[in-house]
Every structure is written in structure tokens, then in C-alpha cells.
């Protein structure tokens, strides 16, 4: 069957441009490939015109008129041998990212040429049923000859791809940091030898295996692009090599390093990637998907394809199923990844970082009992037998992990020794000291408070709202001469147990309005008494027991939350309550116990809070100074 020009519709153009590259950063990889195939040594990628135009410029061989015409053919490539690109569509990859593609190029002693592709017209034509060749012709201008620039001599050679007027939908993706990270991950950028000292060893080994490694210098907005790893301190100082063979033929070779932190490193220092001619195939999930086990990515590494018949697909996110070597190769990769996971479990068992962290935290907090218990667990765990993978390529890592385990054991032994020495010293344990202090304070407390405080839980932690209610009620009952029921109702409502609006139709015991009963003579006096008494009693509770109302956990209130620890959190507050209104005192003035430099106590805050309750039945004066710039509350 003979195909004519009109048999190839314009919709095929969408498939081979936007369909393959989807208007994303992958077009950068295609242009870098073309630059490398043109034998460029330097590639600069940068923005112009207020970041509206993206420029990819190289110092490659450049193109003459025929070569430029050939480069614009769709699906036709004259590249052979070790060239990276070979499908003949990469130059069109920027169509879905910009309004125009402009190509400017020059060969040594050749003319400076320019051609422009109208991407808007091309995208519009893709939706028609017209012939593809007709749409391409209408969208692509003629080749022009440009005058040389001031810094361009006859021997100058270069190619410049300009994605002009980037689409608004793509501008959020094509930003400086994204471009750098993409290039570092996907193109054959060099290692930073000042950071990664294994780089020379890797390059030598790959050269011995015949792996093509382009020598290229790439900058992104003036910043030299280096491929990971970027932080060698995250890893053991040991390089793992693994050759993958099919029928005794090395089809791929890989290098790997393992973190010594026992956790997945952060980007970009994480993952294992397939590489072909220096370019990345897919992402790290392509390697991980070859195994059925759950793999914790504690390794960073690259698997470089050696066999020429292991070919990447058109979008370069996987392999083409065109070689009988592919399945056995990927099966080996899956087995190796499962072996890496087994090694990770061995490392966990022999180093036990969580227990080491727990021991360190216990020691810092002075909890020697917990530290001793965790030390015992640590020693038991790291001495238990753990299976190690049988893969010969990992055998040296066993020695590295065992050495780390030995070092960790020595560190824990030192900690254990220090704990024993501190236990035999005359320094009193912090917990014991707190308990002794607690018992000492109880001796001189008011009997009612003392009895109530003894009802604490074994750990000494109970809500002070429960503990303080009875002694406060007793003390205030003595001062006000109210009977048990009256003071109970009054304190209950002051603490807002059931609200301060009254119960079952009865008048409220605490009022701020002046209306208390039907006796006009007593109304004002009793209302004033209740207003002062209510604010006083509730303020005590509110300040010390209802911390959540005052931004509990916020920095501005940390000083109050941290003022006491362990049993003293109860002791201190009860002591303050006791000082406020002991039964033998007629007037007590408590000036703020809070440091003035820490007086920004509450974001809602008290600028100057003073409560005075003084009348014929109750003489109590309380001054709390919490000076802030906030409005009075």
C-alpha cells in the first residue's frame, strides 16, 4: 500500500510533541542531548526578557543550512553510533512550553542562521484533520541569515535554542530551582569532586566497562550543575559495586552508597536510578518497582546500562521490550534491591539508633533508671544474630556495619560507666530531691491543704483544681463566716463548675450587675462583695489551673509552665494559694512572683490586674502585676 502526504494527519504531531513531553521540563533533556551530540563542551541555560524567554546555548559544532533543515524533520534522524539522540523529534519538544521556538546557529567559518517556529499556529493546526506536512510548513518560517555579533568571529560555532514567551501555564514549572534540580537528576552532569571523593573511582570503573560518559559543563542561570550526591556526610565511606550479567555478559554496572543514619535521606541524596549514556531513565520508582519487597531507600546509586540493545522508550521513562536481555536483567535488579533491604535490616539490628537516641534522652533528663533499662535492651539487641545477604558485592559492607556496631557498643559502655559513677556520688537523684522537697513543704502547710495534698497519685501528678478546691473553700469559709452550703455553692460557681448564671431559676451567687436579691438595702453591698470575691476566687483558679485559656504551650507563657517541675508543679501553686489567704491573716498583699522581664505573660494579657476584697466579713488583698502592652482583661 502506498501512503500519500495527506495520509499523515496533523494529530500525529501532538502525539510526538506534547504527547511525549507534555510541556514539561523534559524538553531540557532533549536539547541537552542535541548539544552533546553536537560535541558541545559547555551548555548554558538561562532566562532573558524578565524571565519570559528560556535560552539553551551551547558551543557545539553548529549547523549549516542543510543540517538545520534536516534537524527540523519529524521522526527522521541521521545520527549514528554513540550519539545520544536518535528519534528525530527532540527539537520539537518545546512546542508545548512556549509561544515560539527560535533556533540560531553557526558553524565555524559558516553563516549565522535563524529560523522560527510559531508554536501557537502549530498547536492550533494539530486539532485539525489537515496533512501534517501542511501544518508544519505553515507554522515554520524560512531560514534567515543574520549578521555576526560583536563577539562572534568567523570561527565561532554554537547553537542557541530560544523558547520565547513561555506559556503562562508553564512558568510555575520553569523556574530556576526546578531547572537546576531537573538537570542535576537527569542529564550527564559531573560530580562535584570537592564534595564526593568517590567520583574519580566511579568514572574510571565506568570507562573500563565501556560506559559512555559525556564530558560536559552545564550551568543553570549561572550556577554550575552537579549531579548528586551533594552531602557525603550522610553515608558510610564505602562504595558498593555490582555488575548485572545475562549469559555471562555484563549488561549493566552499578555503584551504591549506604546512609549511616538508618533513615531515608532527603532529596536529592536518595534513590537508585537507571542511566543510559549518562541520561536518567524514569525515576527511582522504576528501580524500586522491580522488587516485591518493601524497600527502605537507604542507598543512593546509579545503574548504568552497558548493553546497546537495552533501549529506552520514546519518552525515556522506561525500557523498550525489544531485547531478550531485558527481563532477566530487571529480575536481577529486583533481587539485588531485596538484598539491599536485607542489609538495611541487618544494619538496624546491629546499630539500633532508636535505642541509642532513647538512652541519650534519658541521660540528658536525668532519668537514670530508664537509661539503664534501655542500655540493657540495646546490648541484647545488637548481640542477637541477624541475617546478612549472600550477595558477594555486599560482603565488605558487613565489615563496615559491624565496625559501626562495635563503635556504638563502646559508646554505650561509656554511658553505662558514667551512670554508675554518678549513682555512687553524693549527688542526690533529681526525682528523690523533688520528693524530699515535697515532703518538707507539706510539714508547714495548712492542715486542710496538707490533708488534700497527701491524696496525690503515686506519681504526684493530679489536677490542682481538684486538690485546691477544699482547702480554699475551708479558708474562705473561716473568713466569710458563711456556712458550708453557702461557701460550697459560692466557690463552685466561682470556679465555673456549673456556670455563674444560677441554677434551676435561683439567683446567681456571683453577680457583676448589682442585682442580687429583692432587698434594696442589701443589693449594692452584696453585689459589690460578690463581685470582688468572685473575681478573686476565679482569678486564682484561672491563672493557675486553666492554663489553656492563656495560650498554653506558647512561647510567651513558657516561663509559667516551666516554673515548677514534677511534684513542685502542684506544691508551688498550692503554696501560692495558701499565702494568699491564710486563716490568721487580716491583710496579705502578694506582689507578682513573676519576673518583670517575663511579664509578657498572655497574648490577651493583663496590663495591671488588682483585686481588693475588703469588707466586714472578709479582709483579703491580692495584687497580681502582669504588665503587658495588651488591653486590660
Q: What is the pLDDT of residues 524-539, one digit of tens each?
A: 555 444 444 555 555 5
Whether the Cβ atoms of residue 94 and residue 55 lie closer than 8 Å to each other: no
Q: What is the pTM of this model?
A: 0.65
28 vs 130, higher pLDDT: 28
Compute the radius of gyration of the chain from its Cα atoms. Answer: 39
User: Is residue 128 pLDDT above 50, yes or no?
Assistant: yes
Residue 610 has phi, psi (to 5 degrees) of: -135, 130
Residue scoring higher pLDDT (48 or 11):
48
Mean pLDDT score of the chain, rounded to an integer?
75
Find, among 19, 395, 466, 135, the residue nearest to 241 by Cα.
395
Query: Of 477-486, 499-508, 592-601, which has the strongest mean pLDDT?
Result: 477-486
pLDDT of 28 strictly over 90: yes
Q: What is the pLDDT of residue 24?
A: 81
pLDDT in tens, 153-194: 899 999 999 999 999 999 999 999 999 999 999 999 999 999
pLDDT of residue 345: 95
- H helical segments located in 238-366: 284-288, 326-351, 353-364
Strand partners, 613: 620
Q: How confident is the model at residue 124 (pLDDT cuts 50, 70, 90)?
A: confident
Give the model confidence (pLDDT) of 447-470 as tens digits: 655 665 565 544 444 433 334 445
Q: Which among 77, 82, 120, 84 has a CA at the least distance from the CA of 100?
A: 120
Q: Are 223 and 179 in contact (CB under 8 A)?
A: no
State mean pLDDT over 299-310: 95
Cα–Cα distance between 71 and 391 in angstroms, integer?
A: 47
Asked whether residue 47 carries a pLDDT value surpassing 60, the answer given is yes
Q: What is the pLDDT of residues 69-110, one digit of tens each?
A: 988 887 665 555 565 554 557 788 888 899 999 999 999 999
Cβ count near 632 (within 10 Å): 9
pLDDT for the residue 86: 47
pLDDT band at 65 (very low <50, low <70, confident <90, very high): very high
Torsion of CA 604, 605, 610, 613, to 10 degrees: 40
Which strand ranges, in their side-by-side order, compose the sheet holding 42-48?
144-146, 112-118, 98-106, 158-166, 53-58, 42-48, 217-220, 223-224
**pLDDT tens per residue, range 376-393:** 999 999 999 999 999 999
Angle between helix axes 568-580 and 464-480 (nearest 10 degrees) is: 10
Our CA dihedral for 138, 143, 148, 151, rounded to 10 degrees, sits at 70
Model pLDDT, residue 232:
94
For β-strands 299-305 and 271-276, DSSP reports them as parallel
Share of the chain above pLDDT 90, in %: 47
Instruction: Name the strand (E) or helix (H) holding 371.
Output: helix 368-382
Cis upstream peptide for 268 (omega within 30°): yes
- CA–CA distance, 277 with 305 (Å, rounded to integer): 8
Exposure pattern of 89-98 as b/e (b: 16+ CB <10 Å)?
bbbbbbbbbb
* Predicted confidence band of residue 494 (pLDDT cuts 50, 70, 90): low
Question: What pLDDT does residue 422 have?
Answer: 75
Q: How far apart are the first and last CA of the chain?
A: 92
Ordered by where they begin, the domains of the chain are 5-174 (3.30.565.10), 199-213+227-350 (3.30.230), 433-624 (no CATH)
**Residue 118: its H or E element:** strand 112-118
Nearest one of 131, 127, 34 to 87, comparing CA atoms: 34
Rounded to whole angstroms, how far apart are CA atoms 596 and 117? 72
Least confident of 111-115, 129-133, 590-594: 590-594
Burial 508-529 (b: 16+ CB within 10 A, else e): bbbbeeeebeeeeeebeebbeb
Of 395 and 478, the one with more pLDDT: 395
Residues pairing with 220 in the sheet: 45, 223
DSSP 384-400: S-------GGGHHHHHH
Task: Compute CA distances 411 → 365, 381, 414, 423, 443, whole Å.
Answer: 18, 15, 5, 19, 45
Read out DSSP for 484-551? HHHHHHHHHHHTTSS-SS-STTPPPSS-SSS--SS-HHHHHHHHHHHHHHHHHHHHHHHHHH-GGGG-
Amino acid at each position: 500500500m502506498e501512503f500519500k502526504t495527506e495520509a499523515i494527519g496533523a494529530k500525529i504531531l501532538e502525539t510526538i510533541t506534547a504527547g511525549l513531553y507534555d510541556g514539561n521540563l523534559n524538553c531540557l533533556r532533549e536539547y541537552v542531548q542535541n548539544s552533546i551530540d553536537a560535541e558541545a563542551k559547555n551548555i548554558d541555560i538561562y532566562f532573558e526578557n524578565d524571565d519570559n524567554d528560556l535560552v539553551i546555548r551551547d558551543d557545539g559544532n553548529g549547523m549549516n543550512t542543510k543540517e538545520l533543515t534536516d534537524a527540523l524533520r519529524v521522526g527522521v534522524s541521521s545520527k549514528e553510533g554513540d550519539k545520544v539522540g536518535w528519534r528525530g523529534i527532540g527539537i520539537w519538544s518545546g512546542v508545548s512550553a512556549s509561544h515560539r521556538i527560535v533556533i540560531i546557529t553557526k558553524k565555524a567559518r559558516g553563516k549565522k542562521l535563524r529560523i522560527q517556529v510559531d508554536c501557537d499556529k502549530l498547536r492550533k493546526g494539530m486539532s485539525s484533520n489537515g496533512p501534517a506536512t501542511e501544518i508544519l510548513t505553515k507554522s515554520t518560517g524560512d531560514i534567515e541569515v543574520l549578521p555576526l555579533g560583536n563577539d562572534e568571529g568567523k570561527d565561532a560555532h554554537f547553537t542557541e535554542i530560544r523558547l520565547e514567551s513561555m506559556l503562562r501555564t508553564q512558568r510555575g514549572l520553569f523556574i530556576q530551582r526546578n531547572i537546576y534540580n531537573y538537570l542535576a537528576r537527569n542529564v550527564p552532569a559531573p560530580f562535584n569532586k570537592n564534595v564526593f571523593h568517590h567520583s574519580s573511582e566511579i568514572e574510571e570503573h565506568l570507562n573500563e566497562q565501556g560506559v559512555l560518559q559525556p564530558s560536559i559543563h552545564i550551568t543553570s542561570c549561572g550556577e554550575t550543575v552537579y549531579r548528586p550526591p551533594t552531602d557525603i556526610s550522610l553515608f558510610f565511606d564505602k562504595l558498593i559495586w555490582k555488575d548485572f550479567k545475562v549469559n555471562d555478559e555484563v549488561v549493566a554496572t552499578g555503584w551504591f552508597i549506604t546512609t549511616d543514619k538508618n533513615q531515608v535521606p532527603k532529596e536529592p541524596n536518595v534513590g537508585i536510578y537507571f542511566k543510559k549514556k549518562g541520561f536518567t531513565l524514569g525515576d527511582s520508582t522504576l528501580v524500586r518497582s522491580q522488587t516485591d519487597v518493601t524497600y527502605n531507600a537507604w542507598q543512593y546509586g546509579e545503574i548504568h546500562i552497558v548493553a546497546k540493545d537495552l533501549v529506552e522508550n520514546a519518552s525515556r521513562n522506561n525500557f523498550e521490550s525489544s531485547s531478550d536481555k531485558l527481563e532477566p536483567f530487571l529480575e536481577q535488579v529486583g533481587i539485588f534491591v531485596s538484598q539491599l533491604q536485607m542489609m538495611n535490616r541487618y544494619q538496624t539490628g546491629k546499630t539500633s539508633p532508636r535505642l541509642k537516641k532513647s538512652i541519650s534522652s534519658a541521660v540528658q533528663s536525668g532519668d537514670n533508671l530508664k537509661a539503664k533499662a534501655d542500655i540493657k535492651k540495646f546490648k541484647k539487641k545488637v548481640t542477637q544474630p541477624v541475617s546478612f545477604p549472600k550477595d558477594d558485592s555486599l560482603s565488605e559492607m558487613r565489615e563496615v556495619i559491624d565496625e559501626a556496631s562495635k563503635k556504638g557498643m563502646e559508646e554505650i559502655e561509656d554511658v553505662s560507666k558514667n551512670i554508675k559513677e554518678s549513682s555512687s556520688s553524693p549527688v542526690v537523684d533529681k526525682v528523690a530531691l523533688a520528693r524530699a522537697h515535697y515532703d518538707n513543704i507539706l510539714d508547714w502547710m495548712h492542715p486542710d491543704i496538707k490533708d488534700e495534698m497527701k491524696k496525690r497519685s503515686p506519681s504526684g501528678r493530679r489536677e490542682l483544681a481538684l486538690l485546691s478546691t477544699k482547702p480554699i473553700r475551708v479558708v474562705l469559709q473561716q473568713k466569710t463566716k458563711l456556712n458550708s452550703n453557702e461557701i460550697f455553692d459560692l466557690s463552685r460557681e466561682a470556679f465555673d463548675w456549673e456556670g455563674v448564671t444560677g441554677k434551676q431559676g435561683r439567683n446567681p451567687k456571683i453577680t457583676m450587675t448589682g442585682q442580687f436579691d429583692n432587698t434594696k438595702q442589701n443589693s449594692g453591698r452584696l453585689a459589690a462583695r460578690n463581685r470582688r470575691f468572685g473575681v478573686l476566687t476565679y482569678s486564682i483558679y484561672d491563672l493557675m489551673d486553666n492554663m489553656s485559656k492563656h495560650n498554653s504551650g506558647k512561647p510567651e507563657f513558657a516561663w509559667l509552665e516551666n516554673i515548677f517541675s514534677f511534684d513542685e508543679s502542684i506544691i508551688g501553686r498550692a503554696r501560692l494559694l495558701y499565702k494568699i489567704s491564710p486563716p490568721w491573716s487580716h491583710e496579705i498583699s502578694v506582689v507578682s512572683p513573676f519576673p518583670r522581664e517575663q511579664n509578657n505573660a498572655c497574648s490577651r494579657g493583663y496590663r495591671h490586674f488588682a483585686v481588693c476584697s475588703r469588707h466586714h466579713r472578709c479582709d483579703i488583698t491580692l495584687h497580681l502585676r502582669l504588665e503587658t502592652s495588651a488591653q486590660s482583661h
